[in-house]
Homo-oligomer: A and B are copies of this chain.
Amino acid sequence: MSHVEDKLAALGLILPEPIQMPPGFAAPFQFVRVVATRAYISGHCPLNTDGTVAAPLGKLGRELSIEQGYTAARLTGLAMLSSLKRALGDLDAVVAWARVFGMVNSAPGFDKQPMVINGFSELILELYGPRIGAHARSAVGMAELPFNIPVEIEAEVEISA
């Protein structure tokens, strides 16, 4: 078992099944695209363990509290790790987190996006430690997100050759 999976198990965290796209939605793209030693990671959203989109849906500052947004961002991290495991075989293949782009479905006047995306960043640092897990980040407010999800995060990581 890999180092990162050991930590997931120790924390009692479970990686969800692949996303079950809502009816009528095709996905003509890859959730992880590997090019040489980089993996580009598509926008992910919070999932239940069975791969369905996790509730609550809606906007921060309207349907969701900051705490609920933080949890959604953490679940988004687990969904991303699930995709990475399928694409790379081993979560320890990530040698550096590089870029994280955190998108928060934001009601007018909501400006605490960083507090929401911290749910993702803190998970990655917890699992990968400060050397591999460190990343550049933006956390910003979107007008709308697909299926009315509260959080969508895309990322880029460096992987072992």
Q: Which residues of A are in contact with B by a Cβ distance under 8 Å? A: 24-33, 35-36, 38, 40-43, 96-101, 103-104, 106, 108-115, 118, 121-122, 125, 134-148, 152, 154, 156, 158
Contacts and interface: CB of A to CB of B under 8 A. Distances in A.
B145 A141 contact: yes
A121 B27 CA distance: 9
Report which residue of A28, A97, A101 has the largest number of chain B beta carbons within 10 angstroms of its beta carbon.
A28
A29 B100 contact: yes
Given A35-B96, A108-B143, A110-B144, 20 more contacts: A27-B114, A28-B122, A29-B100, A30-B134, A33-B96, A33-B97, A33-B98, A35-B158, A41-B136, A42-B138, A103-B140, A106-B144, A114-B146, A136-B154, A138-B152, A140-B142, A140-B145, A140-B152, A142-B142, A142-B143
A121 B145 CA distance: 18
13 contacts: A24-B115, A25-B115, A29-B136, A30-B137, A33-B96, A35-B158, A36-B158, A38-B98, A108-B143, A108-B144, A111-B145, A141-B144, A141-B145
A33 B118 contact: no
B28 A121 contact: yes
A146 to B, nearest CB: 5
